[in-house]
Structure 1
């Protein structure tokens, strides 16, 4: 008997894309699946689109609470031996679920399996053309050995896994619990780091998904909290620099990564976000690297923006 796979799709204001996403999931040739879609307080007609699929999917309707809460609601309802995640604007390639389920069936030491993905860019008019050249390639069992194994120390330097390509062993999910509700962004990165402490992670070499790039998506807007920095720093505080396999992360390189993330976050806010966040970020970075001229220059730019903002408020 085939292992049951639960497909989890958080959906928020995605009426324009979710039908295409669901059709790609329903078309998968794995013989035992259940699809759970969490309508996370959509206001654009997403729920009406979901209702058209009838009993082919299970719908959980809740007030808007963010992606971690939506995924957790689906995890609570999931019955599958394996759990697969799919975002409501992406599309799966045929054979993805079957290949991943086979891999987990055959490798008891693997807790997580993901695939390669295609970055799906919009056309000049903003539309997205399907890629039959990619979708016609059936996902097979070939493994990207270089990017597989005990990945904890590697994940400290790059997330590497794309959520819409990931399948997890259900028994591992029960041990780990749900996604961190404090992480509006980065909850998936945090979860893959947790998974990397529990078992090996395998990357299948085939392209398993089209990953749609939406320039104006919420995830691309600057946020006050530097979530990626927080996720990595929290992991190091909890588990240190040593992986379950005994591998060691380079502490100097890791400190550079954390520094670079802080500077990048500050720069994003300097360009199009909150000047106060930019200033505080640069100030903290300067405390560690006072000899970097560019940091001084951008700190001054942020201070000027703050001053102009303050003057504007005073005039108002």
Structure 2
């Protein structure tokens, strides 16, 4: 049985689309739980008036992690699929997840390919995953490097007992990247199965739908969690090097963001930090760009992005 948990905060223009995408699945789910996290618009009223079959739970505003954890607590399914209120599924998402569950009985986490919706255009995520219809994500951390994340909060389904009892749900009080912390824990604890068919649409047009990576000027909270996992020897040996490389790239992205806004002092401080960065061509380029004007830095990164 699969329960669906939808955290909701001021998404009155999108919540019906999200719920309808669950109701229109070719394979029905066990239950749909919407956690209204203190919305100040009429989001909750839309759910209660239009979707009586949905279990609506209201709480004071506590953040998306708290909302997801409340949904986990009240869910009855063996598996929990998450869907952000401003995203939506194709009609085959649950069917594809169920296929993975049956095909990979030793896995406890399952995800599908996804695409970005921006205005009237659809852009497939740039993933490094296998082109096979289904596969196991053998090295999750390597797949995160120089690519879109292989898992999003709207493309994943997780065994409830693993998530609730072993991982402890989603971390609260984390400003950003709380979901990536959970995905990292999953990668260290279980096999993750992947379906290559695009089954989820991530809506980029929604204001505050996610943190803007070009606004991150200090190492994200998940970096410290990654380091802790390594220090406590919780990372499987075959994943250690790729996680170290992911930490390196994540921190360097903060260097880039600071250079783009002309904050050279902050960029230099991060470049000189110990324990997070190794010395390679990307770090060397960061040092060199400290001496160039901001418009030149922007041009360099623009050319680099267009060449990919």
Q: TM-score, normalised by structure 1?
A: 0.75
Offset at 1:170? Answer: 1.6
- Pick from 207, 214, 219 the counterpart of residue 198 of structure 2: 207
Deviations 1:106-164 (A, max 9, x none): 422111111111211114xxxxx8x8xx9xxxxxxx7343xx33334425636321211
Deviations 1:4-56 (A, max 9, x none): 11101111111001101110111113234211111111112111111123431
Secondary structure at the aligned position of 2:57 is classed as strand
1:32 and 1:247, CA in 2 relative to 1: closer, same or farther beyond 3 A?
closer
Mapped partners of 1:255, 1:187: distance in 2: 15
Which residue is equivalent to 2:302? none
Matched, 1:151 2:139: yes
Which residue is equivalent to 2:18? 21
Secondary structure at the aligned position of 1:52 is classed as helix
Query: Could you tell me whether the CA contact under 8 Å between 1:150 and 1:199 is conserved in 2?
Result: no
1:135-284 correspondence runs (5 A): 143-145=133-135, 148-154=136-142, 157=145, 159-174=149-164, 175-214=166-205, 216-217=207-208, 219-221=210-212, 222=215, 226-227=219-220, 230-239=221-230, 243-244=235-236, 246-249=238-241, 253-254=245-246, 256-267=248-259, 270=261, 279-284=265-270
1:44-193 correspondence runs (5 A): 44-123=41-120, 143-145=133-135, 148-154=136-142, 157=145, 159-174=149-164, 175-193=166-184
Query: Could you tell me whether the CA contact under 8 Å between 2:36 and 2:44 is conserved in 1?
Result: yes
Query: Could you tell me whether the CA contact under 8 Å between 2:2 and 2:77 is conserved in 1?
Result: yes
1:87 and 1:287, CA in 2 relative to 1: closer, same or farther beyond 3 A?
closer
Q: Give the gaps of 5 or more residues in structure 1.
A: 124-128, 135-141, 300-316
Secondary structure at the aligned position of 1:111 is classed as strand
Secondary structure at the aligned position of 1:197 is classed as helix
Q: Give the gaps of 5 or more residues in structure 2.
A: 125-131, 275-282, 295-308
Which residue is equivalent to 1:285? 271
Q: Which moved more, 1:50-59 or 1:191-200?
A: 50-59
Mapped partners of 2:7, 2:72: distance in 1: 11
Q: TM-score, normalised by structure 2?
A: 0.76
Deviations 1:216-247 (A, max 9, x none): 326345367542xx313421332369853634
Q: Which moved more, 1:238-247 or 1:60-69?
A: 238-247
Larger radius of gyration: 1
Matched, 1:6 2:6: no
1:32 and 1:162, CA in 2 relative to 1: closer, same or farther beyond 3 A?
closer
- The number of aligned residues is 272
Offset at 1:259? Answer: 3.8
